[in-house]
Amino acid sequence: MSDQDFESFIELLRKRLKEPLPGKEAQVKMAPKPIDERRFKENSIRPPRLGGVMVLLYPDQHGIHIPLMKRPEYDGAHSGQVSFPGGKLENVDTDLIDTALRETHEEIGVPREQIEVLGNLSELFIIASNFKVLPTVGVVREKPKFIPDPIEVEGVLPMAINALNDYSIRKVKEMRFPPYTIFSPYFDVRGEVVWGATAMMLSELAELVRELELSFQK
């Protein structure tokens, strides 16, 4: 992808993010089955914690990529899972965009001043951890030098944006959480299973990318 094509895509995406988003209709395509409608509804008795994640776009010799990260094994709801950089809203944050910028620096070492914020995807409630997450879409003009936090990040996992609509990497995995069994769609990214909330956010981004690719072809 040339620099001109990269900038054209980024500008189109910036404009598209200001328009109404696909939201739940796109998210549900990669949601675990059977669909549990509770995952889209907050509990008024136990209000969710707020979190922000960063969907960071960067140019590489093979096109535009997004850094995902694999979390280490720990005693928690998201142990060993692949996710975006991000975390909970802290007192030092002005808003959830600020949260995403701070966490991206802390977790994968990309300085916040290098990131240009393009907009946001739709919020998503994560029932397993009682979080309501706002994904921020950002861009850097050069491939970052990733510096994973040795405690919070096992490794950075680049995903090509053009793979989002490659249905050969969309698979389904049976998962058992006694007494429940679910069938979860996931993205197979370099042999890693990208499922759950991260896959649902990527599904919405995939819809936008597909729209923009169609506009490029006209």
Residue 57 resides in a domain: yes
Checking phi first, is residue 111 left (phi over 0); if not, alpha (psi -120 to 50) or beta? Answer: beta
CATH at 118: 3.90.79.10
Number of separate domains in the chain: 1
Residue 104 resides in a domain: yes
| Cβ atoms within 10 Å, residue 158 | 15
- What residue has token string 């309501």? 132
Residue 142 resides in a domain: yes
Domain that holds residue 154: 3-212
Strand pairing category for 49-60 and 131-139: parallel
Residue 49 resides in a domain: yes
Residue 133 resides in a domain: yes
Residue 217 resides in a domain: no
For each of the chain's 218 residues, which pLDDT tens digit applies? 677 789 999 999 999 999 999 999 999 999 999 876 666 666 667 889 999 999 999 999 889 999 999 998 766 555 689 999 999 999 999 999 999 999 999 999 999 999 999 999 999 998 878 899 999 999 999 999 999 999 999 999 999 999 999 999 999 999 887 777 889 999 999 999 999 999 999 999 999 999 998 766 55
Contact criterion met (CB below 8 Å) for 197 and 211: no
Residue 218 resides in a domain: no
- What residue has token string 């990269």? 6
Checking phi first, is residue 103 left (phi over 0); if not, alpha (psi -120 to 50) or beta? Answer: alpha
